[in-house]
Amino acid sequence: MSYDYDLFVIGAGSGGIATARRAAEYGAKVAIAESGRLGGTCVNRGCVPKKLMVYASHFPAQFEESRGYGWSVTPGGFDWPTLMGAVNGEVDRLNGIYQTMLDKSKVEIFRHYAQFIDAHTLAVGDQKITAERILIAVGGQPVKPSTIPGIEHTITSDEIFHLPEQPKRIVILGGGYIGCEFACILHGLGSDVTQIIRADHILRGFDQDIRTQIQNSMVEHGIKILTQTKPVEIQAGEQGLMVKVEGPEGEETVFADVVGLAATGRKPNLENLGLENTGVEVQNGAIAVNEFSQTAEPHIYAVGDCTDRINLTPVAIQEGRCLADSVFGGQSKLMSYEYVASAVFTTPEAATVGMTEAEAFAQYGEAVKVYRSQFRPMYYVLPGKTEKTLMKLIVNTETDKVLGAHMVGDDAAEIIQGVAIALKTGATKADFDATVGIHPSAAEEFVTMR
């Protein structure tokens, strides 16, 4: 049978674009459908604009710290519209770059939503399009819990980049990494921040030392974190939004200009895809795939957050490139999910690769040895600040292999990225010990822990 395209991609986020371009490089006839902006969540509503806001939030502390080095700096006023205009201008620039990349790769773009009619046919705008192979790369979307009365008064992480004014007071519901990042960003920019979490600690799923260190630092910096607390109701009143919460000491009301649901979770964006017209299976709300990103329909694939494996932009990109290499490049590549590093851009920053301490002990028991170091970096000595950096290595003493590396502190993501290469290649503690450190640096602590 003759098809309109060798590959049709639904969704022009990081994974979809990476797959489309790589497949086109191998000579495939490729098209991609996207009803929104090119680049997906990461470029438009996630990693990129968020990281720019992280940078902005650090300046007040840096102004203060500079005095310890002899500078006389008087911070000026901060202008929210200027920042957001610059951030969204950069997003616009990146959208143009993605457009150019797809054009150069000769990938045809349909600025419409795509929906399955059958396993090889899609409705794209007012057209019917057939493809030999189809990739679903539609990403995820934030979830608002419907059980909280007044939930309509809240915003998600998508809307926070388009607030016309900086909130003087903001309540963030949930303790996931997105909520924690925005709590630190807005606090750094001068907002009064209250974070409400149901558990004792933020960042469920991360190493316990990371969770404790970041939470303690956030509180020390002035963020109010209400633990073992749940929102009961949200009302609009004369004093702004009133968030009624229930915690260990009973009920109380927190007032805010904005209530953000930045941390209550995300889910695969599968609505109105027409998956029921195919043999694609959905399990636990996500598209089920095998190790080749292949669905139950052998010619339909899925990558990225819609599969709910490891929901990180570089993972989606790598999944897509492995798929294109395998299907169109004849290389039979598999995505490896071992030692995928990740970071949390809170203040302080955290980064991690490999097993947590709890995971290591659960699998290897008494063979596990943990090396841990906590210290004040040199940078904070002259400003007289008590900021601490935490580093830890988790080692299997039977093989000497390093199972995990974790860090909280300045430039944690930059440092752990290099450490991740070592773990990926099977580095042992002896390899770390034999590596000469760069002095003076925080990173050298990873090769001097005994």
Q: Which residues are catalytic, by number? A: 439
Contact 395, 403 (CB under 8 A): yes
Contact 274, 313 (CB under 8 A): no
Q: Examine residue 348 and say whether the peptide bond preceding it is cis (omega within 30 degrees of 0).
A: yes
Identify which of 41, 75, 348 has the alpha carbon closest to the alpha carbon of residue 187: 348
Q: Which residue shows structure tokens 């929906």?
A: 115
Chain length of the chain? 450
CB neighbours of residue 338 within 10 Å: 8
Contact 58, 357 (CB under 8 A): no
Residue 231 Cα to chain centre, angstroms:
24
3-class secondary structure, 115: strand
User: Phi and psi for 340 in degrees, rounded to 5?
Assistant: -90, 115
Any idea what DSSP says for residue 159? G
CA distance 61 to 221: 10
Which whole-number Å values give the CA distances from 133 to 3, 59, 274, 331, in the listed order?
9, 49, 16, 17
Identify which of 434, 438, 427 has the alpha carbon closest to the alpha carbon of residue 378: 438
DSSP codes, 228-288: S-EEEEEEEETTEEEEEEEETTEEEEEEESEEEETTS-EEE--TTS-GGGSS--EETTEE-
CB neighbours of residue 439 within 10 Å: 8
Amino acid code (one letter) for 64:
E
Task: Quickly list H helices, 30-176.
Answer: 40-45, 47-66, 80-104
3-class secondary structure, 46: coil
Q: Examine residue 268 and say whether the peptide bond preceding it is cis (omega within 30 degrees of 0).
A: no
Beta partners for residue 130, in sequence order: 121
Q: Which pair of tokens denotes residue 4?
A: 């309109």
